[in-house]
Amino acid sequence: MTFKDLGLSAPILKAIEKKGYIEPSPIQGKAIPQVLKGKDVLASAQTGTGKTAGFVLPILEKLIKQEFKRPVVRALILTPTRELAAQIQQNIKEYSEFVNIRNVVIYGGVNQKPQVSALRSGVDILVATPGRLIDLNNQGHINLKKVEMFVLDEADRMLDMGFLRDIQRIMTLLPERRQNLLFSATFSKDIKKLANGFLDNPILVEATPENTTVEVIKQRVIRMDKPRKTAYTIKMIEEGDWQQVLIFTRTKHGANKLCQKLNNKKITAMAIHGNKSQNQRTKALAQFKKGEVRVLVATDIAARGIDIPLLPHVINYEIPNISEDYVHRIGRTGRAGANGVAISLVDNDELAYIRDIEKLTKQKFDKEIIEGYEPPHIDEKDIKAPKGNPGQNRNRNRNSRNPISKPGNKKHYHNSKNSKKGGNRGGGNKR
């Protein structure tokens, strides 16, 4: 199958060919034809399999064939984080290089004046985070009454971050008749309930079984004495001469502290988390991509927007207390079919989290022990869940427990066959 076989026109084919994409990934091959037919789509695919192009390319195709309607917003893409919004906007810019489509991105953490100015100049596709979208709408800078296509991207993360009420509010601003697309890296019962509230007889598209991890990623789990995690992290980076490493911590303070220790050892590192300004986050990510910084230390808030081709190493310095976040974290490597290594350093207090991740991903980890870094002895059968955080999805925001639903409004899902092959986040497979 080629992109031309999917029904895309010459200008868009020219743009994706320039990007070096040869053939569509499974999620693109299944989703694009359905979107072009005007169907609502409920799509589940692993991170790194090309979900963005799965909705951006058909949206562009539909817009260029319709009557010119600027300056109204015709397509709205809602996404949870600033980094992901900026990434999607960059993809749209690249894919629309040879067509007359204008796109604008808006998110918080930066001055709104340039965003307002861009909106006044006219916009076909608007990429937005919920808070800034609602804020600018309340100020009268945005009119969403002409939106023809609405995309809810990374819906699972939206629920995790407590955006349910914002989503509900935004939907009241949209016209009743529109095409809806919901894309999610994981496909929980909450997501299906959310979809039930606004998708009309959606086509169900699954490129991979839900909550699975990319097969090309080598996963290592190392039992570790907690105070020795930093020393072992430094040892791996120095002895392996790793030049590009993404490290995840659970807290902002932990990210800053680890960065300081790495820099003290002459390993250039920068942190990216919610307390950093958007300019600081953008600068850190840009320097990491260019190789000017060896280590990027991130919290889960930023994980969805980090798209780095051929990223070789991801380290879970601390294990996530929400099991699904493990899938998203390690999905930063092994993208577009490339090989990658994900290493998890697990102290005794985190063994319950690892057990939850094993249940979620339906795999059993071989747990390594490194001489000189051994944890205090503990029998795994005696592991108990941390107090106050029962169950598999720990510390999930309360709002995500009550997804949008319409009583009595039962939907019918048309399922596509599963596939385990992946592409890249923005486009198709490269050769």
Cβ-contact 315, 246 below 8 angstroms: yes
Domain definitions of the chain by residue range: 4-211+400-430, 217-382
More confident residue, 281 or 241: 241
φ, ψ at 117 (rounded to 5°)? -60, -40
Of 74-88, 245-259, 274-288, minimum mean pLDDT range: 274-288
Q: For residue 131, is pLDDT > 70?
A: yes
Q: Which amino acid is at 106?
A: I
- Please give the structure tokens belonging to residue 124: 């076909």
For the segment 135-167, what is each residue's pLDDT rounded down to a tens digit?
Answer: 999 999 999 999 999 999 988 888 878 888 899
Work out the percent of the chain whose per-residue pLDDT is above 70: 80
Q: How many CB atoms lie within 10 A of CB 71?
A: 13
Predicted local distance difference test score (pLDDT) of residue 149: 97
Q: For residue 317, is pLDDT > 50?
A: yes
Rg (CA), the chain: 21
Cβ-contact 27, 49 below 8 angstroms: yes
Of 72-86, 88-102, 185-199, minimum mean pLDDT range: 185-199
Predicted local distance difference test score (pLDDT) of residue 22: 83
What is the per-residue DSSP string for 334-363?
A: SGGG--EEEEEEE-GGGHHHHHHHHHHHT-
Contacts of 400 (CB under 8 A, 6+ apart): 159, 160, 162, 164, 190
φ, ψ at 119 (rounded to 5°)? -65, -40
For the segment 35-68, what is each residue's pLDDT rounded down to a tens digit?
Answer: 999 999 998 876 667 889 999 999 999 998 875 6
Q: Which residue has the tokens 């949008």?
A: 404
- Please give the structure tokens belonging to residue 333: 């490597």
How far is it, in rounded angstroms, from Cα 208 to Cα 210? Answer: 6
> What DSSP designation does 300 have?
G
Average the pLDDT over 62-87 and give the result: 84
Predicted local distance difference test score (pLDDT) of residue 349: 93
Average the pLDDT over 190-199 and give the result: 84
Q: Which residue has the tokens 């503990």?
A: 378
Predicted local distance difference test score (pLDDT) of residue 356: 92
Taking every pair of Cα atoms in the chain, the longest distance, rounded to a whole number of angstroms, is 69
Q: Which amino acid is at 390?
A: P
What is 217-382's CATH topology?
Rossmann fold (3.40.50)
Of 84-98, 218-232, 305-319, minimum mean pLDDT range: 305-319
Beta strands, E only, 12-166: 21-23, 41-44, 75-78, 103-106, 125-128, 149-153
Strand, coil or helix: 395: coil
Q: For residue 425, is pLDDT > 90?
A: no
Predicted local distance difference test score (pLDDT) of residue 358: 92
Cβ-contact 88, 311 below 8 angstroms: no
- What is the CATH class of 4-211+400-430? alpha beta
Helix or strand (DSSP H, E) at 135: helix 130-138
Q: Considering the entire predicted model, what is its pTM? A: 0.67
Alpha-carbon torsion 165, 167, 173, 175, what sign? negative
For the segment 367-416, what is each residue's pLDDT rounded down to a tens digit?
Answer: 999 999 999 876 665 555 444 433 334 444 434 334 443 333 434 444 54
First to last CA, the chain: 15
Beta bridge pairs of residue 272: 298
Q: How far are the Cα atoms of 62, 133, 283, 412 from residue 112, in angstroms, in the given order?
A: 30, 11, 19, 41
- Please give the structure tokens belonging to residue 240: 């392996």
How far is it, in rounded angstroms, from Cα 286 to Cα 2? Answer: 32
Q: Report strand pairing: 414-415 vs 203-206.
A: parallel
Q: For residue 194, is pLDDT > 90?
A: no
How far is it, in rounded angstroms, from Cα 107 to Cα 86? Answer: 9
- Half-sphere CA count of 221, side-chain side, radius 13 A: 17
The closest of 136, 150, 154 to 79, measured between CA atoms, is 154
Domains 4-211+400-430 and 217-382 share a fold: yes
Q: For residue 78, is pLDDT > 60?
A: yes
Task: List helix spans (H) across 211-277.
Answer: 229-240, 252-264
Q: How many CB atoms lie within 10 A of CB 241?
A: 7
The closest of 170, 169, 197 to 182, measured between CA atoms, is 197
How far is it, in rounded angstroms, from Cα 156 to Cα 190? Answer: 8
Classify residue 272 by burial, with Cβ atoms within 10 Å: 0-12, 13-18, 19+: buried
Cα dihedral angle (189, 190, 192, 193), rounded to 10 degrees?
120
More confident residue, 328 or 212: 328
Helix or strand (DSSP H, E) at 182: strand 179-184
